[in-house]
């Protein structure tokens, strides 16, 4: 019998968090969700997480492997989830062009966001989606019933706190009578500056509603501003709320393949960590001001602090669908769209497969060949153990 726990051979996020755990765990510096994520990442694919058994269907050789933590913030646990999500999404995406749009918030709002993550992230999702809906339905622009797919990110390449929404928007929508698919022209269907102003107005309306209902904790340094609506309006409307049109994709597969790199990404992957030693972390980052890849060096404690800023509240959905793409319209408006575009909907290849079968398809069957006899396949559950799926 052998026990397997493969690592990439280099420095990993868990190594850094492990070296700093006395400063962060049990000190009150982290909220319960952050503590859980911290511990899960430390224990991922170790004996603490338990194990599962694979048995050769030929010679009976047994291999025991440690379980993954399955935490969505763990860099080791996202690859397969991402591939399965991308495959399923391709089957529900319309075969049209897509716009990739990014919604950001001004700097002065970031302290409020960090103190009220569940509430403020929810407002960011809702405001950006409603802004797109208002713009798309305006007869001056396109006049259609549209939709979007939104993904929340909270970080920049240097691990700084930077909440923003990545959004995929179909280049078109249903006409008011829902009898025709109306395609947008090659340019985005609304001027970016107009969309930015709509987004700002919708978000501020939601923010004032939340403040009026006393739903938010206010940062100490900004209590005066949030207590005076005129001061808050002045600050908000004097800033540029950046909305970027990043890229136009020719079809659903290209769009989903690109966005798939964003959906299950964590704040930093192990591949970006270049070195860790003497309490210092070196990692690769892209400076978007000049488009160049650079190396950043941070003390382990500061690196850990930055990473922990990006742990999402428990149960918070970071991927959401709106308009014609929402789950509520999956069997109604989306079916109408496919019919009007004269395209059949497909079923995901992975639908109905077990976790083990999906792993075989993604990672290749050779990976599950018995290392002892060289001919049999290592099969999950053959020995009758009660462990969970890998």
pLDDT at 26: 86
User: Is 46 a domain residue?
Assistant: no
Q: How confident is the model at residue 9 (pLDDT cuts 50, 70, 90)?
A: low
Which pLDDT band, with edges at 50, 70 and 90, does 78 fall under?
Answer: confident
Residue 291 has pLDDT above 90, yes or no: no
**Domain that residue 164 falls in:** 79-267+313-340
Strands of 51-56's sheet, edge to edge?
2-4, 62-66, 51-56, 378-380
Could you tell me where the beta strands, DSSP code E, fall in the chain?
2-4, 51-56, 62-66, 98-104, 147-155, 161-170, 172-174, 181-183, 243-249, 273-277, 280-287, 292-299, 319-323, 378-380
- Catalogue the E-assigned strands of 233-291: 243-249, 273-277, 280-287
Taking the C-alpha atoms of residue 306 and residue 300, their distance in angstroms, rounded to an integer, is 10
Is residue 55 in some structural domain? no
Does any domain span residue 319? yes
C-alpha to C-alpha distances, 372 to 2, 173, 356, 377, 380, nearest whole angstrom:
10, 57, 20, 10, 16
Share of the chain above pLDDT 90, in %: 63
- Tell me the average pLDDT of the chain: 88
In a domain? residue 72: no
Question: What's the pLDDT tens digit per position in 132-153?
Answer: 999 999 999 999 999 999 999 9
Distance of alpha carbon 367 from alpha carbon 115, whole angstroms: 45
* Residue 233 pLDDT > 90: yes
Whether residue 3 has pLDDT greater than 60: no
Determine the pLDDT at residue 248. Answer: 84
Strand-by-strand arrangement of the 243-249 sheet: 243-249, 98-104, 161-170, 147-155, 319-323
pLDDT at 386 (0 to 100): 40
User: Which of the two residues, 38 and 377, has the higher pLDDT score?
Assistant: 38
pLDDT of residue 15: 95
The stretch 275-293 carries a mean pLDDT of 92
**Partners of 275 in the beta sheet?**
282
**Residue 142 and residue 189 in contact, taking contact as beta carbons nearer than 8 Å:** yes
Per-residue pLDDT, averaged over 276-304, amounts to: 94
**Across 105-113, average pLDDT:** 97
Q: Is residue 307 part of a domain?
A: no
Q: Which residues pair with 286 in a beta bridge?
A: 293
Q: How many helices (H) and strands (E) does the chain have?
A: 13, 14
The rounded Cα 130 to chain-centroid distance in angstroms is 20
pLDDT band of 219, cuts 50, 70, 90: very high
- Answer whether residue 279 is part of any domain: no
**Res 5 pLDDT > 70:** no
Residue 388 clears pLDDT 50, i.e. is over it: no
Higher pLDDT, 64 or 20: 20
- Looking at per-residue pLDDT, the higher value among 52 and 305 belongs to 305
Query: Quick one: average pLDDT of 357-374?
Result: 78
Residue 382 is predicted with a pLDDT of 54
- Is the pLDDT at 352 greater than 90? The verdict is no
Q: How far is 54 from 248, CA to CA, in rounded Å?
A: 45
**What is d(CA 38, CA 18) in angstroms, rounded to the nearest whole number?**
9
Backbone angles phi, psi at 74, to 5 degrees: -85, 125
pLDDT at 381: 65
3-state secondary structure of 104: strand
Is there a domain that residue 281 lies in? Answer: no
* Per-residue model confidence as pLDDT tens digits over 235-245: 999 988 999 98
Q: Which of 65-79, 146-160, 206-220, 294-308 has the lowest mean pLDDT?
A: 65-79
Total domain count for the chain? 1
| 95 domain-assigned | yes
């Amino acid at each position: 019998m052998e026990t397997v726990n493969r690592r990439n051979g280099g420095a990993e996020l868990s190594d850094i968090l492990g070296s700093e755990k006395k400063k962060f765990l049990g000190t009150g510096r982290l909220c319960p969700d952050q503590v859980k994520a911290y511990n899960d990442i430390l224990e991922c694919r170790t004996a603490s997480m338990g194990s599962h058994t694979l048995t050769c269907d030929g010679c009976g050789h047994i291999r025991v492997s440690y379980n993954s933590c399955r935490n969505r913030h763990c860099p080791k646990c996202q690859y397969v989830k991402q591939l399965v999500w991308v495959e399923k999404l391709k089957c529900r995406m319309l075969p049209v062009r897509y716009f990739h749009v990014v919604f950001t918030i001004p700097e002065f709002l970031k302290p409020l966001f960090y103190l009220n993550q569940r509430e403020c992230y929810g407002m960011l999702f809702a405001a950006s989606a409603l802004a797109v809906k208002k713009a798309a339905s305006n007869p001056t622009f396109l006049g259609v019933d549209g939709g979007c797919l939104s993904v929340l990110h909270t970080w920049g390449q240097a691990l700084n706190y930077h909440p923003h929404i990545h959004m995929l928007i179909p280049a078109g929508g249903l006409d008011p009578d829902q009898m025709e698919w109306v395609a947008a022209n090659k340019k985005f269907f609304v001027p970016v500056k107009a969309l930015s102003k709509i987004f700002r107005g919708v978000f501020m309306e939601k923010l004032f509603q939340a403040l009026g209902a006393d739903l938010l904790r206010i940062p100490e340094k900004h209590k005066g501003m949030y207590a005076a609506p005129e001061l808050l309006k002045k600050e908000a409307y004097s800033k540029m709320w950046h909305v970027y049109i990043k890229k136009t994709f020719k079809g659903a597969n290209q769009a989903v393949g690109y966005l798939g790199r964003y959906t299950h990404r964590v704040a930093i992957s192990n591949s970006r960590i270049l070195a860790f030693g003497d309490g210092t972390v070196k990692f690769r980052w892209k400076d978007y001001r000049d488009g160049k890849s650079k190396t950043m060096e941070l003390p382990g404690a500061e690196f850990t602090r930055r990473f922990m800023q990006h742990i999402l509240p428990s149960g918070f959905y970071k991927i959401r669908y709106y308009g014609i793409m929402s789950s509520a319209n999956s069997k109604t408006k989306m079916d109408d769209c496919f019919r009007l575009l004269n395209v059949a909907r497909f079923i995901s290849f992975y639908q109905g497969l077990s976790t083990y079968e999906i792993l075989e398809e993604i990672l290749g069957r050779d990976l599950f060949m018995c290392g002892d006899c060289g001919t049999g396949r290592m099969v999950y559950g053959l020995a009758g153990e009660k462990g969970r799926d890998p």
